Structure 1
Amino acid sequence: MKEVKAFIRPNKVDGIVHHLKDAGFENMTISSAEGTGKLQDEDAFVSQKFSITESEVAKLELVVDKNDVDKVVQIISEQGKTLNPGDGLIYVSDVEKVYRVKKGLENGMK
């Protein structure tokens, strides 16, 4: 199994999630976040929560079979891009084990 974690523009979340669900990827976590980076967007602002951040981002996380990683990355890339700097990043990591909280037992996912 692989974890795909993407930091994307908040206004792109709905389209990405819609396309992921249409492709059969139903389970994901979406969080609001703030980030820093090289981009000095004219719409960037200093957060009232964190003094060093400059832009809002959305974090999308999902765990998929290793054979589905390319498909997921393609969907996120195609639906998330604006062709402007600061469109985001996608990370792919190994998932060693998955446990069900309810029973504490290994889930048996591939």
Structure 2
Amino acid sequence: MKNDRIYKMIFAGVYPHYVTKVEKKGRTKEELHTVIHWLTGYDEKALQKQIDNKVTFKNFFDEAPQLNPNVSKITGVICGYRVEEIEEPLMKKIRYLDKLVDELAKGKKMEKILRE
């Protein structure tokens, strides 16, 4: 019920906040894109299309080419929730993205963020 509001949020509306968050901490938009590409399978052109089309988070993840097979390695707390314990699949994907953006902003090495 309350998650519906999040699912209907426009990805392009939140995306600039992701960029600001990572750039404030000395990371780049390109690194952010690397993280998003790793998670979703979107290439640069497809990601820009999702932003331009103002898709919802639900559609952003529904249309993602392929969720990375290593997403289960993303663990920890984000927004007060332990990601590995979130049961609702779409919310889990959204929190995966939040967690990766957070790790990037906190200065974690890219190899660790991408679970290599």
Same fold by TM-score greater than 0.5: no
Determine which structure has the larger helix proportion and give its number.
2
Q: TM-score, normalised by structure 1?
A: 0.28
Q: TM-score, normalised by structure 2?
A: 0.27
Higher relative contact order structure (alpha carbons within 8 Å, sequence separation ≥ 6): 1
Determine which structure has the larger strand proportion and give its number.
1
Q: Which has the larger radius of gyration?
A: 1
